[in-house]
């Protein structure tokens, strides 16, 4: 199976379990790999046949920007489910990073893989 990927999608979000986190927006970074058969768009050379990664980025940004989850685990699950439900992918691997959340660590987060 072919894969379409998005790396380093940065979105500001309300995320966290501590009181101070509930009053600020924090940066999150998303990396996605989505299983998608690229043979049809490769043959047609038509954007309508592709997995439009600009549309995926826009939808994730909209969803995350309006969310307010406590845990990155919850947000990752919801984003993966949304991608599977709204786009023609059979599998999604998602890495969600929360930069600067822990002193002396560049980022913390989760990696999940979900399929239909």
Catalytic annotation, residues: 98
Helices (H), 26-111: 39-44, 53-66, 72-86
Residues whose CB is less than 8 angstroms from the CB of residue 57 and which lie 6 or more positions away in sequence, other chains included: 6, 9
Cβ contacts of 38 within 8 Å, gap of 6 or more: 2, 4, 50
Residue 97 to residue 7: CA distance in whole angstroms: 11
């Amino acid at each position: 199976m072919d894969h379409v990927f998005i790396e380093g999608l940065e979105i500001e979000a309300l995320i966290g379990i501590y009181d101070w986190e509930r009053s600020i927006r924090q940066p999150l970074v998303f990396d996605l790999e989505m299983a998608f058969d690229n043979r049809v768009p490769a043959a047609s050379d038509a954007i309508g046949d592709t997995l439009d990664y600009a549309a995926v980025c826009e939808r994730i940004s909209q969803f995350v920007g309006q969310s307010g989850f406590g845990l990155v685990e919850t947000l990752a699950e919801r984003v993966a489910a949304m991608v599977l439900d709204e786009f023609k992918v059979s599998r999604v691997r998602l890495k969600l990073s929360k930069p600067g959340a822990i002193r002396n660590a560049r980022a913390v987060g989760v990696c999940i893989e979900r399929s239909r």
